[in-house]
Amino acid sequence: MGMKILLVDDEPTIRITLGDALEEAGHHVLRCGTAAEARALLEEGSFDCCITDMRLPDGDGIQLLKEARDKNPDLAMLVITGHGTIGTAVEATKMGAEYILKPFLNEDVLARLAKIEELRNLREENERLRTQITGRFRIDRIIGKSARMQELFDVIETIGPSDATVLINGESGTGKELVAQAIHRNSPRCANKMIKVSCAALPESLLEDELFGHEKGAFTDARERKIGRFELAHGSSIFLDDIDDMSLPTQVKLLRVLQEREFERIGGTTTIKVDVRVIAATKQDLSMLVRQARFRDDLYFRLHVVSINLPPLRERMEDLPLLCEHFIRLHGGNHRYSIDEETMKEMAAYKWPGNVRELENAIMRAIAMAGKNDKLDAKHLLPRAAGGSLDAFARALGSVGPSAEGSKAGGIAQPGNIAAGQEKALDSELKPLRQVVAEVEAAHIRAVLERTGGNRTRAAEILGISRKNLWEKMREHNIS
C-alpha cells in the first residue's frame, strides 16, 4: 500500500537517490532540504513517516521530529546522520526513532521502512479486530459470531437487569462462569463483586459451612464466627458452579434460601435475611438427575426460572477462527502469530472435548513452542493421537481375548479356531467384565492425565467428573 513520507536532507544526492528508491518501492515522497520547509509541509498535511538528517542548515533534526510527533503521535521516524555519537543515538531511540549512519545503502532504509509498515498494518488490524470483538461478536469475554452465540448475547442482555434466578447448562469448558459474570455485570448489582462457590471442589460438610457459615463453638475447631458466602453476597449475586454435585441434605437448605431468602448459620439460632441473586451452573442434565432421585425436583424448578444452554465448541465451529485470533492476541504479546488454512481445517475436524478452555490452552501451548516461527504448528495445537482413548480401550480389550493368533475378524477367537488343548489356557485368560471395565477406566484416566500434563482440574473437566471423583478413582486404581 505504501506510506506517505517526508524526506528532509540538505544533500541533493540523498534527496534524489533515496527519494527515487522510496517511490519505486511504492511510497509517496515529499522532499525538502531545510527544517523550515519541513515544518511548512507538516502544517499542510499529515505523514506516515518522517526521514530527516540529524543536522540541518537551519535547525536540529531531533527537534523537528519532536514537533512533528506532537502533531501526529503515530508518526514513524527515521534519523540519518554522518555525525553519529552515542548521545545522539540514545536521544533518537528514546523518542522512538530509527537511527542510521551515513553512508548507508538505500536497501537498508527500505528494509527499516518495511518493518515500520508491517507494524503499522498490525496495529490497524488489531484495532479492527478489537472493534469487531467489542461489537456484537463479544459480551465481556464471551466471543462468538454464530447464531447460537448471538442468541446467547440476546438472552444475557434481556435477563441481566432482572433478579431472576438463572440455571446455566453446559459441558466443562464452555464458559459457564463467563456467562454468569456477564449476567451479573449487566445487572443493577454489578457495583458489588459476584461471589463464586464450586460445589464440586468441597465435600458435603465443608460446602454447607462455606455457603452458610457457622457460629463460634458450633463444632470442634470453630473458634470464631464464620460468615458464609450467602451473607457475603448480600446485595450482589452468588454463582453456584457444578450444582449437580451438591448433596441432597445441602439441597434442602439451598431450597429454603431460594424460597424465603433466609437461613441460619451452622450452630446458630438467629435467622439471617439476604438479598441475593442466584446463578447456578451444571454440567449434567438436572431433569435426568431428578428422575434418578439424585436431585430434588422442587429445587430444580426453583433454579429453572431462566435456563441457558451453552453450545459446546464442536457445535459452533464457525467461531473457531475468531476464537483463535482472540487467544493469539491475548497470549501472543506483540508477536503476530497465525494459523494456516490446512491446520485450521484439522482443528475444525477435532471434537474439542474440553471446549473453549481446551482451545485456549492449545493456543497458549503452541505459542510457547513456536520459538521464532510466526505460524503455529498443528502438532502443538492438536492432541498427539486423536484416538488415544480408543487405543487404550483396544489394548484393554486385547487382554480379554486369546493371543494374536486368534480370529482376524477383530481378534476374538471363533469356536472352530480353538484347539481342544487350548481351551484351558483360554479360560485362564478370560476375565470378569467388571475387571475389564476397571482396566479400561484406569487406562483412560492415565491417558487423560498424561495428555494434560498431570493437571487434575483439567483432566476432571475432560472426563466429565469432579476433582473429588477423579481423586477417588485415582486412589481406587492406584494411579499416582
In whole angstroms, give the CA distance from residue 480 to residue 461: 19
Q: Which three cell numbers stand for residue 177?
A: 462462569
Mean pLDDT across the stretch 41-45? 84
**Cα 374–chain centre separation:** 20
Could you tell me what percent of the chain has a pLDDT over 90?
47
Would you state the pLDDT for residue 389? 42
Q: Which three cell numbers stand for residue 450?
A: 498424561
Residue 66 CB partners (closer than 8 Å, separation 6+): 95
Mean pLDDT across the stretch 172-190? 93
In whole angstroms, give the CA distance from residue 246 to residue 478: 27
CATH of 314-381, one of 3.30.70.1880, 1.10.8.60, 3.40.50.300, 3.30.70.260: 1.10.8.60
- 383-423 tens-digit pLDDT: 864 444 444 444 444 444 433 334 333 333 343 444 445 45
Would you state the pLDDT for residue 129? 57
CATH 1.10.10 given to domain 388-476: yes
Same fold flag, 4-131 and 141-311: yes
Class of domain 4-131: alpha beta
Domain spans of the chain, in order of start: 4-131, 141-311, 314-381, 388-476
- 352-378 tens-digit pLDDT: 999 999 999 999 999 988 888 889 999
Is the full-model pTM beyond 0.85?
no
| Number of Cβ atoms within 10 Å of the Cβ of 457 | 12
Class of domain 141-311: alpha beta
